[in-house]
Amino acid sequence: MKPADIDFMRLALAEAERGALLGEVPVGAVLVVDGAVVGKGFNQPISAHDPSAHAEMVAIRQAADALGNYRLPGATLYVTLEPCTMCAGLLVHSRISRLVYGASEPRAGAIVSRSQTLDQPWYNHHVQVEGGVLAEECGAVLTAFFRQRRGRDR
């Protein structure tokens, strides 16, 4: 883990909180190139009426637009929750160099929990992965959200 990983993960947590305020599942992401944030996002499939509007997708789209390139070599994506299959594929196609995630996703995580999507030998791009950064904080945001949603926040 690099020293800046915690700072960037905290920015991703702030994005997750923005999503929670809109009633979205609180997952946040920031995309960093050369130490600068070039994209950020939170889950917004409900408010955007877009099933692909996961935090990772939003941040990567924003970064690609800002940089004028659909490929993002040298970029690090920070996301508060282990990515799903769709988002893992997006990491490969956008040529993200490094993924740093917080909490594991035991139900649908496609990095280590349910499948190892990024480890498949047929991909023409390899993503370096660091998991568990601020995992407790990232998991707590999700737990609190679902507890409140179920009416058990007492």
**C-alpha to C-alpha distance for 76 and 149, rounded to whole angstroms:** 32
Mean pLDDT of 95-108: 97
pLDDT of 46 reads: 96
For the chain, the average pLDDT equals 95
Mean pLDDT of 83-103: 98
pLDDT of 39 reads: 98
Q: Is 130 designated active site? A: no
Q: Are the C-beta atoms of residues 109 and 84 closer than 8 Å to each other?
A: yes
Q: Is the pLDDT of residue 107 over 90?
A: yes
Q: Is the pLDDT of residue 154 over 60?
A: no
Q: Quote the tokens at residue 153.
A: 């926040």
Mean pLDDT of 8-23: 97
Q: Is the pLDDT of residue 50 over 90?
A: yes
Q: Among the listed ranges 1-5, 20-24, 125-129, which one has the minimum average pLDDT value?
A: 1-5
| Backbone φ, ψ for residue 93 (5° rounding) | -65, -30
Mean pLDDT of 15-40: 97
Q: Which amino acid belongs to residue 110?
A: A
Q: Which amino acid belongs to residue 32?
A: V
Annotated binding site for Zn(2+): 54, 84, 87
pLDDT of 56 reads: 98
**C-alpha to C-alpha distance for 126 and 121, rounded to whole angstroms:** 9
Q: Where are the beta strands (DSSP E) in the chain?
A: 28-33, 36-42, 75-81, 98-103, 128-130
pLDDT of 3 reads: 86
Q: Which amino acid belongs to residue 126?
A: H
Q: Is the pLDDT of residue 15 over 60?
A: yes
pLDDT of 150 reads: 85
pLDDT band of 152, cuts 50, 70, 90: low
Which of 24, 56, 82, 105 is labelled catalytic?
56
The SS3 assignment for 55 reads: helix
Annotated binding site: 54, 84, 87
Domains of the chain in start order, with CATH, are 3-147 (3.40.140.10)
pTM comes to 0.95
Q: Are the C-beta atoms of residues 58 and 29 closer than 8 Å to each other?
A: yes
